[in-house]
Structure 1
């Protein structure tokens, strides 16, 4: 990446907590991604523990990398690689592959961050994780767009319930800061999961799946929350430039992932 372009992207993350890249992929690539996400979602819903609720008609599913035909193209995209290396260090680790699916009838989520602020971030300001989001559909106003309050990734969150859910008296301020995102097929974004955000109500008849790639700085510890694995055959197809960032078990046969956690508060769908 051009140094000026990279500096602009990392500055946006440092200041706002999110940056986007329109048109990163061809629509045909995203169509295949959407097919794989839909297949994984159908399979997950059919078994106990395959999907976790994040509010009414809203689900999260963690999957293995090789369930996506486009995993290598996504994980080695030069913009993603450059931004992750600049923010998290050259030895960043891919620790999570999953997707959120707000279905028709999903309600406003409570404002939240995805996990409590790490001690290192509190003490030094250094971000230790990033989330890459890829929509599989063109986002429209009635589909429950993602809403984020820029700059809130710097709030310590001492008064947040579970370190994640701010008190409702903070909501008016978040609404005043909020920016709704309307990504199209092919767009990607990178954000700090500490930036306070929420999914809004989906009043359409369509779902709005979004792929999530979770990336850590070495030692951040989020890998302990996930069960990413790859088969030996898939591992052998990966370029060395990707293997060095994918620290996970290499197995003979994959086991379906049972979601290990239900995010407090989101299951209730509570909102203002």
Structure 2
């Protein structure tokens, strides 16, 4: 009796492609991961939270002239569960950070009209895992809430620089000005559209560029760590007990958070003073 071999099951997203992108350029993306309606809903939530944060002392931290970062509570936006459990997000986290990855941060950046070029930088100093072990132990996922155009101050990245040793870096984050021509030669500007998602190493040298348009360019940030990373110390992920208990068990296993009776204002512990002046 002739039998037919069962086809091999192929993963939905290729691990080699994920690893090659993040260990190579330090940046990968998935077009159309979410619907435009989902992104539009996120945009409305972000604008509401931004307006509230601007009224609260310390609620919106400066990241340069006319540019802010706001850390938020996951349950304050619609779509958090869909984001955190998206198959591509899960595949990327498992491939690079391992099966015990932890979500440690959610917030958003807003470069407003008139925002200037940021200096080239990393989001935090490179850990020993990367400097000595040559491993990435954290990732940042980004989702734009608007269609980004060239005049809106797009995100700019210098591919491959996540592996640069921090020789002469101020606070381990800001490279010497003498390095700038190399970054500018490598620079890639990203123009994502609503519904797209990207993942990057926050150690890859990057900057926000000048926003010459009349529109803000909000972008959501989801921070994820490997078990050896310590970025959770800079953040305060909180869930109310009722919201947390309704989360899928597979998501709960990947959260480093506090369970509270009522959400408390977040005191952001990761200011980046070197970004405050901006560049021409």
Tell whether the structures are fold-level matches, with TM greater than 0.5: yes
TM-aligned CA deviation for residue 260 of structure 1 = 2.8
Instruction: Give the conservation status (yes or no) of the 8 Å contact 1:58–1:101.
Output: yes
Query: TM-score by structure 1 length?
Result: 0.97
1:163 is aligned to 2:172: yes
Distance 2:256 2:195 in 1: 27
Residue 33 of structure 2: which of 10, 19, 24 is its match? 24
Aligned residue number for residue 139 of structure 1: 148
**RMSD of aligned residue pairs (Cα, Å):** 1.1
Aligned residue number for residue 123 of structure 2: 114
Instruction: Give the conservation status (yes or no) of the 8 Å contact 1:93–1:217.
Output: yes
Residue 58 of structure 2: which of 43, 49, 66 is its match? 49
Aligned residue number for residue 15 of structure 2: 6
Aligned residue number for residue 256 of structure 1: 265
Unaligned runs of 5+ residues in structure 2 are 1-9
Instruction: Give the conservation status (yes or no) of the 8 Å contact 2:53–2:59.
Output: yes
Distance 1:133 1:33 in 2: 12
The alignment of Structure 1 onto Structure 2 pairs a total of residues equal to: 271
Which region of structure 1 is more displaced relative to structure 2, 203-212 or 253-262?
253-262
The 3-state SS of whatever aligns with 2:167 is: coil
Runs (4+) of structure 1 exceeding 2 A deviation are 1-6, 258-262
The 3-state SS of whatever aligns with 2:237 is: coil
Query: TM-score by structure 2 length?
Result: 0.95
Distance 2:190 2:82 in 1: 24
Distance 1:222 1:65 in 2: 17
Aligned residue number for residue 150 of structure 1: 159
TM-aligned CA deviation for residue 4 of structure 1 = 6.5
CA 1:132/1:98 → structure 2, altered by over 3 Å: closer, same or farther?
same
Distance 1:214 1:3 in 2: 23
Between structure 1 and structure 2, the one with the greater Rg is 2
Aligned residue number for residue 220 of structure 1: 229
